[in-house]
Amino acid sequence: MPDHRSPAAVASVERRVDAIQAVLHERGMQPAEFIASAERLVEEAWVPQNGARIVARAWTDPAFRTRLLANGKAAVAELGLELPRHHRHLVALENTAGVHNVICCTLCSCTAFTIIGLPPDWYKDLEYRARVVRESRTVLAEMGLLLPADTEIRVWDTTADTRYMVLPLRPADTDGWPEERLAALVTQDAMIGVALL
């Protein structure tokens, strides 16, 4: 580790986490209790199935789709879903036959995590952040998504506190399917925009 002032070997990352947790405990901040409640949130509440429900509803209910595209935060509240206070705006980006949307955060890792789930590792990696804004078609192809040459690609860089989700194209041959069955088709990758359904 490049800290030339300190000859001491850097402590393992687990020991460093233990140290900061011990400090917060000592200051009365009750970190152990918060870690337990946060674990439940990330495992059970902030899951891609939330976004999948939104997508399935938008596919089956044109009035909801209109409301979702007009004001994402208000529309998802109809399904009992919410965003953190500092995510003041949710924008649903609708894929069409000629337009494909993909989201990223080049500066860090921002996502609508309460809606589409916490971002996967690769979304936060240097490679995706550096390349997807500049080499979108190449990166998508490398990830297995080959788009027609005349498809317009729109990349959305989450550099402010507006959050995005992609509304994927409904797969063919799903006419008449109930919402629950449609929702089961929707993946986090499709709501990021690196996969089709």
Q: Which of residues 79-98 bind other proteins (CB under 8 A)?
A: 86, 88-89, 91
CB 150 within 8 A of CB 98: yes
Distance CA 7, CA 140 (A): 44
Query: Which residues, numbered 21-60, are part of the site for other proteins (CB under 8 A)?
Result: 21-24, 27, 29, 31, 34-35, 38-39, 42
Secondary structure class of 29 (helix, strand, coil): coil
Distance CA 192, CA 163 (A): 11
Distance CA 22, CA 2 (A): 25
- With CB under 8 A as the contact rule, the residue among 64, 82, 94, 124 that binds other proteins is 124
Query: Which residues, numbered 159-178, are part of the site for other proteins (CB under 8 A)?
Result: 159-162
Tell me: does residue 134 bind other proteins (CB under 8 A): yes
Distance CA 20, CA 18 (A): 6
Tell me: does residue 78 bind other proteins (CB under 8 A): no
**Cβ proximity to other proteins, 67 vs 89, nearer residue:** 89
CA dist 149 → 137, 156, 182 (Å): 9, 20, 28
Residue 86 beta carbon to other proteins: minimum distance, rounded to whole angstroms: 6
Tell me: does residue 63 bind other proteins (CB under 8 A): no
Residue 5 beta carbon to other proteins: minimum distance, rounded to whole angstroms: 10
Catalytic residues: 105, 108-110
